[in-house]
Structure 1
């Protein structure tokens, strides 16, 4: 038989492993509802936080503390499934810039609650977009094993043209040159989006300089 102290330690270890499995099944990040649906009381989360096994990343969302750091892409997917990667982050994923963004640039519906995005990690830069522009050019891309929502190349180029004055000039010029030489570009689609976003004249002028 186990000594009483060792028995208690074994029970805690077994309990810990069954709780950890819930996180494992959700890429290391869960909503509180994921935990309670698995049959466990929400007060267990508080205990796991006190024990240093779990951290709270924002209200209602929790992350297991593995030895290896959880991919930021997993966090973005879990916390913000409605968000769309845009601007500098999209440029980076399309290899239109060599600069790694200091934050994840995410587009969300203009009516989204701002409190949702108050997290310490990863860093976020949020763009609140009106409905008529928000739904244009949504695509997907695989990054770090995750399928992420992202604006396609043409929507991304229209966005940076629209926000040119707020961008680093070198990053902007490199992105335009990269798009102009990209075999996957679709100029007809670019012009279509530019019309929808009221940047047609500027887009034709800028793109025309490189093509």
Structure 2
């Protein structure tokens, strides 16, 4: 089977297509099954398919395609800002509290999902370039408020290193940090913790 015309649809979509992208391009959905049998395509979750290039597709591309509503948070955000040296074992994503949990049952990439109430979800979202993708991530201040909020669930060493790193970061915005801390009901705790370092 001449796969170039099918591959073109994947190329135009960063290597990952929804079945509707494929059928909208004029191809029948049974073609996907043939491409899977031939090892050209794998199913990454119901309705989403990835072309098997020689070069591996970036995790950021997969996450952007599958979860455009998700925001990179917690350990993944700490790693992005160089507030931790530990590479997270999974992508930490914040999503709306009412999101369907079955959406996140995929084998790869590994995910750790936080279901967040809307009033906290929308605070401090930034867009950054990562591996050639524009991804949504919480800014430094929202990330620090989140780890203060979830301190008891965090590794103590990771927590302390992140707080120290933020305190010495020339890009920090303490006014914004305190504004977010107030909105997230962690103002008193934030003042106490940051007061030790700043």
Q: TM-score, normalised by structure 1?
A: 0.93
Secondary structure, counterpart of 2:107 in structure 1: coil
Give the match for residue 129 of structure 1: 116
One of 162, 167, 175 as aligned partner of 1:175: 162
Aligned residues: 198
Counterpart-to-counterpart distance in 2, 1:150 and 1:205: 26
Give the match for residue 96 of structure 2: 109
Q: How do residues 40-189 of structure 1 correspond to structure 2 at under 5 angstroms?
A: 40-189=27-176
Give the match for residue 20 of structure 1: 7
Over the aligned positions, Cα root-mean-square deviation in angstroms equals 0.5
In structure 1, runs of 5+ residues without a counterpart are 1-11
Q: TM-score, normalised by structure 2?
A: 0.99
Q: How do residues 181-200 of structure 1 correspond to structure 2 at under 5 angstroms?
A: 181-200=168-187
Secondary structure, counterpart of 2:3 in structure 1: helix
Secondary structure, counterpart of 1:206 in structure 2: helix
**Once superposed, which parts of structure 1, at least 4 consecutive aligned residues long, lie more than 4 Å away?**
none
In structure 2, runs of 5+ residues without a counterpart are none
One of 164, 184, 194 as aligned partner of 1:207: 194
Secondary structure, counterpart of 2:23 in structure 1: helix
Counterpart-to-counterpart distance in 2, 1:41 and 1:56: 16
Counterpart-to-counterpart distance in 1, 2:44 and 2:165: 36
